[in-house]
Chain A
């Protein structure tokens, strides 16, 4: 039996980087995590803390006619409650990103007057123990007047459809028309126009194993909250919570340490955090909130469900793709928590990996009585890239062409890079054709014909499919103005501090909130390379804390950017520190110029006479405790804070044109499926994934991300879906029915990598945490190949495959 995974590098030699960057250093994080000594939010305890349980709506859509908490409050051990009415009195509605009509909806931390999805939080109960809070929640009386539920986005704008938000005057939340190139001419000149009636990308998310949670304390004297939580984008949470609670952002201290997975799904917990804050103040005690699996499935961060309707593709008969038109209908669920940014974020990858120039996309986002949508790994690009890949394979199928050849014919080429897309985004670097070749080699593409025959002899259908995906990283938040021109956001940033302590210890703080990406380790590698020491000498603080003053407006870990923004900040801060060490040493050695000095062996010395050596410990001691006699104008603190700011302009909002992301990592996946035609049951029997994220600081960590994303894609393609019945009940509210892959479900995996460094980033790196959506398409394509039938859905459970074959 072949090894379950093997890693091969690309045939050509990857530039060997001297130093720590480029080495697969073992992770610093592991020691504590392997011993069960990580600190996840539910591990944090405070004396006398109250445990919070949410009373949730059993209805998808209903008026709330009465709430009575008196029985619950009377129960022994209950500390108190919070209702929507109180929330509405104490807070302003959350800021809406959307322009009208979405801008008009009023979103509070608890349901006010109405519930709009099953599982929506209505009342919060706090008690002495978890169990008592749960018991007390059963004593809360809520009367509802049920309303018809809207569960299909395609019906959201039909006359008579139930309306979720009267303030918005209908279920339309946001719409926009994107059009670039000369779409009409392209279609007029095309040899063929291929029409695709409807493609559907389904609703699911990454179900991080740890659910959301918080422990919130309120310091009455200084009116400040300390929010221990696993929210992965505290910058965003603060911006949403501050105005709602009408407090300055410095009154909201966010503390995270270890986070059990995020994948974007831990960005929009600010409503629950507001509830915790209000209760911490009201009840004068720390509030502990644990989200249970079912709560998460019912209420948190579903990925965008999107239809692509009336798609038309202009092609030449030789398979050159000229352009496409489509209508994208996006189901946002009951509230816009990070939406409608999904309405523009897809445009980071408008043409996918392909050179077509004439594109029109009409984007419509509507509300439905389902859990609110917010970012999920590959946020809004995954949907669009699956769509472009579907076009490739459907066009190839229609024209009787090889999907490999159609891709290669249409891929943007390495020599085209940096490549400006029709809407002004700039793909920094990449070589997709070479990646595809490598992936095909890894899967043994030439031998697949024989495998197909073998499968046929066994009564099975074998199919192979390709998925190519771009992982656009480091957002330009100016794109939000295409959603709402009045927004005052643009650019991006991340912060790091690096200092030498009094005993010479190198201490780094990050603004990021890692959930397993190994930030402590890769940051240490970068610092060690600059200061010429060992990563073991670099202490990177675990997690995130607003008290460190190591954050800015966009700080957090999301949107594939740490390798650029986080490490860019680390590099900047370390170089500042390095320059200060040189200045200090120069002064201490009596006026020696910087060129005559060098870093080595954990200190700094005169090149020509290395005995003149100042260890880091001496540097730290001098500045912190022994600084008499230093030149007055010596501007050295050895405590350096750097804000990395990527080079962005504000996009042209009217033309919807401009650079929306700084880097474009890529992944190309190939999946081989074997279908039992009698049942539709199928397995992934072979798999290859090739990644290009520019310079890899820690190749093993990069490969880990590729593997994890692959597994998630397999789960999403085969099983995972948030499916609702016609009354708006979620049919997959836990891991029993929402099936995620387990160890036995994993195919053999071969991985490969090439490095196309980014010309735009401080280290030539690209963020790459989200690129696995390729797997969803590879499986769609493999099923199409095996069955000979057109696949129009991203979710392909056994029944759908069987139905394709009937």
Chain B
């Protein structure tokens, strides 16, 4: 419950934030804090320095381009995304955010933080993969675009390297999306989740089953369950679900997400 000693800096710009992250090995970006502060309370990880990204306008804002692409600042909170008129262009985004935890968490927690922590039970990693998002990663060498499918590397590990920041997530236009989950109580932790888009064929990104979202495809929603079963998955077993049960749940939520996407 009590953090180890840590230094705290509030940079005035993204450039300054990057400098701090690059210059200090033990520095971590502090986004919403809804995950990181808890990790630090448990002393599971204890950065030497926290670089507070709150209050940097460059990381905020949601823009809707004429081609329907959404550009979402990494420090956009779930609440902001839910209230954004622009984000309604891709309704699944706000719908999924509304099921994350509770009001207090949604008021501080950020889209960027959710994808960068890449906890396997998070909602956004599979959703970003399903909708074909692109992550903008900024470092001293400049910015690069990383497709969502290449962004997630391992548990709590993404393409954002030392001295870098996720600044923006771009989401192409689309509406045929679905998301389904079995959660521990209403709006609770996901035991299994899946995000789907339909664009001709069905594409489903599975969360909770591996260190990173796993993509399965099929011609139609009824083919998804088989696709999940033959994907060679070895889901984790924990106090809430055995590996076998988790795999079964995944076939169900993947199908339901696909059906929802197809029906939009």
Give the shortest distance, in Å, between B38 (CB) and chain A (any CB): 8
Q: Would A799 and B182 count as touching, CB distance under 8 A? A: no
Q: Would B1 and A292 count as touching, CB distance under 8 A? A: yes
A680 to B184: give the CA distance in the assembly, Å. 12
Please indicate the chain A residues that have their CB under 8 angstroms from the CB of B188 in the complex: 739
Q: Would B2 and A802 count as touching, CB distance under 8 A? A: no
Please indicate the chain B residues that have their CB under 8 angstroms from the CB of A134 in the complex: 1-2
What is the 8 Å Cβ interface bit string for chain B, positions 225-264, against chain A (1 contact, 0 not)?
Answer: 0000000000000111110010011001000000000000
A134 to B2: give the CA distance in the assembly, Å. 7
- Cβ-closest chain A residue relative to B255: A678
A377 to B114: give the CA distance in the assembly, Å. 38
- In the complex, which of the residues A131, A736, A745, A799 contacts B241, with contact meaning CB atoms closer than 8 Å? A799
Please indicate the chain A residues that have their CB under 8 angstroms from the CB of B153 in the complex: none
B187 interface contact, C-beta 8 A = yes
B189 interface contact, C-beta 8 A = yes
Q: Would B245 and A802 count as touching, CB distance under 8 A? A: yes
Known A719-B184, A739-B188, A744-B186: A797·B240 in contact at CB below 8 Å: yes
A739 to B187: give the CA distance in the assembly, Å. 12
B144 interface contact, C-beta 8 A = no
A709-752 at interface with B (beta carbon < 8 Å)? 718-719, 721, 723, 731-732, 736-737, 739, 741-742, 744-745
Q: Would B187 and A744 count as touching, CB distance under 8 A? A: yes
Q: Would B185 and A798 count as touching, CB distance under 8 A? A: no
Please indicate the chain A residues that have their CB under 8 angstroms from the CB of B4 in the complex: 135
B23 interface contact, C-beta 8 A = no
A681 interface contact, C-beta 8 A = yes
- In the complex, which of the residues B2, B182, B240 contacts A130, with contact meaning CB atoms closer than 8 Å? B2
What is the 8 Å Cβ interface bit string for chain B, positions 27-64, against chain A (1 contact, 0 not)?
Answer: 00000000000000000000000000000000000000
Please indicate the chain A residues that have their CB under 8 angstroms from the CB of B252 in the complex: 678-679
B3 interface contact, C-beta 8 A = yes
Q: Would A681 and B185 count as touching, CB distance under 8 A? A: no
A493 to B37: give the CA distance in the assembly, Å. 48
Known A739-B185, A742-B185, A742-B186: A799·B2 in contact at CB below 8 Å: no
A754-806 at interface with B (beta carbon < 8 Å)? 797-799, 802-803
A798 to B186: give the CA distance in the assembly, Å. 13
Known A678-B252, A732-B239, A802-B245: A131·B185 in contact at CB below 8 Å: no
A731 to B189: give the CA distance in the assembly, Å. 15
Q: Would B2 and A745 count as touching, CB distance under 8 A? A: no
Give the shortest distance, in Å, between B45 (CB) and chain A (any CB): 15
A172 to B230: give the CA distance in the assembly, Å. 50
B158-194 at interface with A (beta carbon < 8 Å)? 182, 184-189, 191
A719 to B239: give the CA distance in the assembly, Å. 11
Give the shortest distance, in Å, between A357 (CB) and chain B (any CB): 42
For chain A, what secondary structure do more than half of its interface residues adopt (helix, strand, loop), or is it mixed?
A: loop
Please indicate the chain A residues that have their CB under 8 angstroms from the CB of B182 in the complex: 679, 681, 798
Please indicate the chain A residues that have their CB under 8 angstroms from the CB of B3 in the complex: 131
- Cβ-closest chain A residue relative to B41: A292
What is the 8 Å Cβ interface bit string for chain A, positions 110-154, against chain B (1 contact, 0 not)?
Answer: 000000000000000000001100110000000000000000000
Give the shortest distance, in Å, between B93 (CB) and chain A (any CB): 21
A723 to B238: give the CA distance in the assembly, Å. 11
Please indicate the chain B residues that have their CB under 8 angstroms from the CB of A745 in the complex: 185-186
Please indicate the chain A residues that have their CB under 8 angstroms from the CB of B185 in the complex: 718-719, 739, 741-742, 744-745
- In the complex, which of the residues A130, A721, A739 contacts B184, with contact meaning CB atoms closer than 8 Å? A739
A670-721 at interface with B (beta carbon < 8 Å)? 678-681, 718-719, 721
Q: Would A131 and B242 count as touching, CB distance under 8 A? A: no
- Cβ-closest chain A residue relative to B191: A798
A797 to B245: give the CA distance in the assembly, Å. 12
A117 to B248: give the CA distance in the assembly, Å. 34
Give the shortest distance, in Å, between A766 (CB) and chain B (any CB): 33
Please indicate the chain B residues that have their CB under 8 angstroms from the CB of A678 in the complex: 252
Please indicate the chain B residues that have their CB under 8 angstroms from the CB of A294 in the complex: 1
Known A131-B3, A679-B249: A731·B238 in contact at CB below 8 Å: yes
Give the shortest distance, in Å, between A783 (CB) and chain B (any CB): 16
What is the 8 Å Cβ interface bit string for chain A, positions 290-301, against chain B (1 contact, 0 not)?
Answer: 001110000000
B1-41 at interface with A (beta carbon < 8 Å)? 1-5
Give the shortest distance, in Å, between B189 (CB) and chain A (any CB): 7
Q: Would B239 and A723 count as touching, CB distance under 8 A? A: yes
Give the shortest distance, in Å, between B182 (CB) and chain A (any CB): 5
A131 to B5: give the CA distance in the assembly, Å. 9
Please indicate the chain B residues that have their CB under 8 angstroms from the CB of A679 in the complex: 182, 248-249, 252
A719 to B248: give the CA distance in the assembly, Å. 20
A719 to B4: give the CA distance in the assembly, Å. 32
Please indicate the chain A residues that have their CB under 8 angstroms from the CB of B238 in the complex: 731
Q: Would B239 and A802 count as touching, CB distance under 8 A? A: no
A293 to B4: give the CA distance in the assembly, Å. 18
- Cβ-closest chain A residue relative to B2: A134
A721 to B239: give the CA distance in the assembly, Å. 10
A197 to B53: give the CA distance in the assembly, Å. 59
Q: Would B245 and A799 count as touching, CB distance under 8 A? A: yes
Known A292-B1, A681-B182, A742-B186: A737·B248 in contact at CB below 8 Å: no
A130 to B3: give the CA distance in the assembly, Å. 10
Q: Would B189 and A736 count as touching, CB distance under 8 A? A: yes
Please indicate the chain B residues that have their CB under 8 angstroms from the CB of A736 in the complex: 189
A739 to B188: give the CA distance in the assembly, Å. 9
Please indicate the chain A residues that have their CB under 8 angstroms from the CB of B242 in the complex: 799
Please indicate the chain A residues that have their CB under 8 angstroms from the CB of B1 in the complex: 134, 292-294
- Cβ-closest chain A residue relative to B4: A135
Please indicate the chain B residues that have their CB under 8 angstroms from the CB of A131 in the complex: 2-3, 5
Please indicate the chain B residues that have their CB under 8 angstroms from the CB of A718 in the complex: 185
A672 to B187: give the CA distance in the assembly, Å. 21
Give the shortest distance, in Å, between A329 (CB) and chain B (any CB): 23
- Cβ-closest chain A residue relative to B245: A799
Give the shortest distance, in Å, between B220 (CB) and chain A (any CB): 19
What is the 8 Å Cβ interface bit string for chain B, positions 139-152, against chain A (1 contact, 0 not)?
Answer: 00000000000000
B187-243 at interface with A (beta carbon < 8 Å)? 187-189, 191, 238-242
Give the shortest distance, in Å, between A728 (CB) and chain B (any CB): 14
- Cβ-closest chain B residue relative to A803: B245
Please indicate the chain A residues that have their CB under 8 angstroms from the CB of B191 in the complex: 798
- Cβ-closest chain B residue relative to A737: B239
A679 to B252: give the CA distance in the assembly, Å. 7
Please indicate the chain A residues that have their CB under 8 angstroms from the CB of B186 in the complex: 742, 744-745
Please indicate the chain B residues that have their CB under 8 angstroms from the CB of A744 in the complex: 185-187
Give the shortest distance, in Å, between A72 (CB) and chain B (any CB): 15
Please indicate the chain A residues that have their CB under 8 angstroms from the CB of B184 in the complex: 719, 739
Give the shortest distance, in Å, between B37 (CB) and chain A (any CB): 13
- Cβ-closest chain A residue relative to B251: A678
- In the complex, which of the residues B2, B102, B239, B241 contacts A731, with contact meaning CB atoms closer than 8 Å? B239
Which has the most chain B C-beta neighbours within 10 Å: A134, A723, A732, A798?
Answer: A798
Please indicate the chain B residues that have their CB under 8 angstroms from the CB of A739 in the complex: 184-185, 188-189
What is the 8 Å Cβ interface bit string for chain A, positions 258-297, against chain B (1 contact, 0 not)?
Answer: 0000000000000000000000000000000000111000
A799 to B185: give the CA distance in the assembly, Å. 13
Give the shortest distance, in Å, between A775 (CB) and chain B (any CB): 16
A745 to B183: give the CA distance in the assembly, Å. 12
B50-94 at interface with A (beta carbon < 8 Å)? none
Give the shortest distance, in Å, between A220 (CB) and chain B (any CB): 30
Give the shortest distance, in Å, between A75 (CB) and chain B (any CB): 12
Q: Would B187 and A802 count as touching, CB distance under 8 A? A: no
Please indicate the chain B residues that have their CB under 8 angstroms from the CB of A681 in the complex: 182
Known: A739-B189, A741-B185, A742-B187. 10 other contacts (CB 8 A): A131-B5, A292-B1, A681-B182, A737-B239, A737-B240, A742-B185, A742-B186, A798-B182, A798-B191, A799-B242
12 A-B pairs with C-beta separation under 8 A: A135-B5, A293-B1, A718-B185, A721-B239, A731-B238, A731-B239, A732-B239, A737-B239, A737-B240, A739-B185, A745-B185, A798-B191
Q: Which residues of B contact A (CB under 8 A)?
A: 1-5, 102, 182, 184-189, 191, 238-242, 245, 248-249, 252
7 nearest A-B residue pairs (beta carbon): A744-B186, A731-B239, A134-B2, A292-B1, A799-B245, A131-B2, A739-B184
